[in-house]
Amino acid sequence: MGPETVINSLRQQITSCESQLQDLKRQLAEAEYQSQQQRSNLQSEQSEHCAPYPLAYDFSHGVHDDFRAEILAALSQPEESIPSPKRWPLDPNEYKRYGRQLIMPEIGLQGQLRLKGASVLIVGVGGLGCPAAAYLVGAGVGTVGLVDGDTVEESNLHRQILHSAARVNMPKVESAMIALHSLNPNVDMVPHHGRLTPETAVSTFQPYDLVLDCTDTPASRYLVSDTCVLLGKPLVSASALRTDGQLMVLNYPPRPPGDTAGGPCYRCVFPKPPPPESVVSCGDGGILGPVVGTMGVLQALETIKILTRGPSALSDGLASPDPPSLLIFSAYANPMFRTIRLRTRKPKCAVCSTHATITPEVLNSGSLDYVQFCGTINPIDVLSSNERISAENYAKIRLDVNPFTGLEPSKDSHILLDVREKVQFEICSLEGSVNIPFSTISSTPADDCKGTATETGLESGWVSELRQHTDKPIFVVCRLGNDSQITVKKMKELGLDNGGQRWIGDIRGGLRAWRHNVDRDFPDY
Amino acid sequence: MSEAKNDGTIAITVEFSGGLEMLFSNERKLSLTIPGKDENGAKTNIAFLVRHLCNTVMKDPRKELFVLDDTVRPGILVLINDADWELEGEDKYEIEEGDNILFVSTLHGG
């Protein structure tokens, strides 16, 4: 980090602290004012109660009662012009702040009071949680709890709108609280630092009326859903990846396990977790900010709809509005939105049916391993050590004599094959490297009887191209060093190593290792 | 919906969402004509369609990202005319002319 960046960052931090301080001072003033109001109201009530019977004590204070009443009325005028909390159900500033939604029949005074009396838990303060929290806090939900164990990273900022450049490395919960507090100091914010675990889930969820699943792994999604079913909380669940998003309102109405009138849970819809190799994270697959933002905003919307329907709808759910559905958002499809009808509760669901095996006791005991249930991918390690080269040693080949061929360093002494997708290759690449995307490689059928495809001319272009230069060793590189190993294996299966005569291997740790150990300036995206 | 055509085939629309399109040459929507009867002469159902997609339509060799144990893998929702296939008899649902079958992979990012 250059000195200017440090200066800028410090400036920003000071600005942020100052605005926080200002905010706190304003809150203090408000609180002091309110407590003063309450005291004076109490006093005037007491004096009313003790007020003597007017006729009996006409001259008791040396001044005629009528006259005295007039003086007192004049003196207390300024106080009376401010409506007491009893007179108006919302605070004065709340009428103004929420005025634009208050005048809508969907909300109205009753709806606003329901929002104010409600408590909502947001699990995950990332791309979904940030916009969801912003709108719920803005709308005046009384209590908002935030759960997250991560810290803010620079690569979060394009979509996680509550965080800021000045708050990189700060815990996400803390960063979000600062932003939300400056947005609406009327809302009670409850921080829950750390990742949700089966042991803590029940006690964390207990005090809230409704839960938003804004997490990013299958394991956490099952845990959040199970806990909501066991505690009878409606769940507003969303997810997003690349240009697509999905939204479901689950366990709504939140009937007890075994009651078929309750809404389906995540396990009803997805009884078995997906194979771990099919799960793609935003870090690997990419995510467009407004796509995940759209889904988070829709979560806030569904939450407001449920909360303003009133407590009866929350608990007995008789007024259950829509049948269970899944909203699919595809930013690049036409139309962008579509709604699918979902199943009802699954008669043999492991958590919400009469056959349920998951109970609060089981959850609290910690004996359920959600990570194991969803499976994990072992780090890829399919090559032997002589099929791999470190980034430093590959750098030597580019600069020194090639130990495999004895040739002077030159671009032509070997083939450097970069198997990242084309769009990533175009962001940055090593000079002289050739790009064959991993998707092309993995969609090439493995050749069972070597050579037949060559003879019949049906072989993929990239394979026959690489076959032409039989003398040059091939170095395969990717982003992190996983796809490169699979590629080396596949190329050998395709016979590109000429029965072992040509060296094919990968650069261990990929371009990340290259940046770490060889070229610090190579872009880190 | 009308009966199968004279040549015994039925025309349907198959759609992919949530990343599954990547396994099908990045096509989100396919108009397919499939046999009206399966190998045993029974009316074509979803189970047959899944086999047909896997064997005939899908070029990507990573079949395990679509099918596991002879059915659609966990984490994929099958929707028949915009309704969960669980509401329609799952893979035993007999496909009709003009049906829209949507395969959605669940997303987990957030």
CA angle, A474 as apex, A468 and A480 as ends, to 5°?
135
Question: Do A122 and A147 belong to one domain?
Answer: yes
**Which one of A374, A406, A432 terminates a domain?**
A374
- Structural domain count, chain A: 2
pLDDT for residue A60 is more than 80:
no
Q: Which 8-state DSSP code applies to residue B1?
A: -
Q: Please report residues of A whose CB lies closer than 8 A to that of B109.
A: 127, 216, 239-241, 280-282, 285, 287, 292
| Domain's final residue, options A352, A374, A396 | A374
Contact A444 B73 (CB under 8 A): no
Q: Do A395 and A278 share a structural domain? A: no
Confidence of residue A443 (pLDDT cuts 50, 70, 90): confident
pLDDT in tens, A246-295: 999 999 999 999 999 999 999 999 999 999 888 888 888 999 999 999 99
| Sequence ranges of the domains in chain B | 9-105
Residue A349 and residue A266 in contact, taking contact as beta carbons nearer than 8 Å? no
Q: Does residue A242 lie in a domain region? A: yes
Residues A178 and A221 in one domain: yes
Q: Give me the residue from A239, A271, A273 closest to B110, CB to CB.
A: A239
Q: Are the Cβ atoms of A340 and B82 closer than 8 angstroms?
A: yes
Residues from chain B contacting residue A377 (CB–CB below 8 Å):
none
CATH code of the domain containing A437: 3.40.250.10
Interchain contact, A444 vs B62, CB within 8 Å? no
User: A478 an active-site residue?
Assistant: yes
The stretch A42-50 carries a mean pLDDT of 52
Residues sharing a CB contact under 8 Å with residue B49, sequence separation 6 or more, in sequence order: B12, B14, B34, B95, B101
Do residues B110 and A218 make contact, with C-beta atoms less than 8 angstroms apart? no
Pair (A333, A449) in one structural domain: no
Specify whether A339 is located in the same domain as A407.
no
Which own/partner pairs from A23-28 qualify as long-range (CB within 8 Å, at least 24 positions apart)? A23/A181, A23/A182, A23/A185, A26/A185, A27/A185
pLDDT of residue A53: 47
Instruction: Calculate ∠ Cα A407-A408-A410, nearest 5°.
Output: 105
Cα radius of gyration rounded to whole Å, chain A: 32
Are residue A358 and residue A473 in the same domain, yes or no? no
Q: In this structure, are residues A122 and A214 in contact, taking their beta carbons and an 8 Å threshold?
A: yes
A294, A435: one domain: no
Mean pLDDT of chain A: 86
pLDDT tens per residue, range A405-417: 666 666 678 999 9
Residues A211 and A344 in one domain: yes
Domain boundary among A346, A374, A402: A374
ipTM of the complex: 0.91
Residue A504 inside a domain? The answer is yes
Option in A217, A269, A278 nearest B73 (CB): A278
Q: Active-site residue among A50, A282, A428, A449?
A: A282
The whole-angstrom distance between A189's CA and the closest CA on chain B is 21
Q: Residue A393 is part of which domain span?
A: 385-517
Report CA dihedral (A192, A198, A202, A208) to the nearest 10 degrees: 40
pTM of this structure: 0.81
Can you give the CATH number for the domain in which A201 is found? Answer: 3.40.50.720
pLDDT tier at A48, thresholds 50, 70, 90: very low
Chain A: residue whose CA lies nearest to B22: A439
Would residue A64 count as lying in a domain?
no
Which positions of A make up the binding site for Zn(2+)? 265, 268, 349, 352
Fold of the CATH domain B9-105: Ubiquitin-like (UB roll) (3.10.20)
pLDDT of residue A464: 87
In this structure, the answer to whether residues A361 and A392 fall within a common structural domain is no
A17 located within any domain = no
A399, A331: one domain: no
A434 and A317 in a single domain? The answer is no
Is some CB atom of chain A closer than 8 A to the CB atom of B58? Answer: no
B69 touches chain A (CB under 8 A): no
The residue in chain A having the minimum alpha-carbon distance to the alpha carbon of residue B65 is: A278
The position carrying tokens 């059915």 is B71
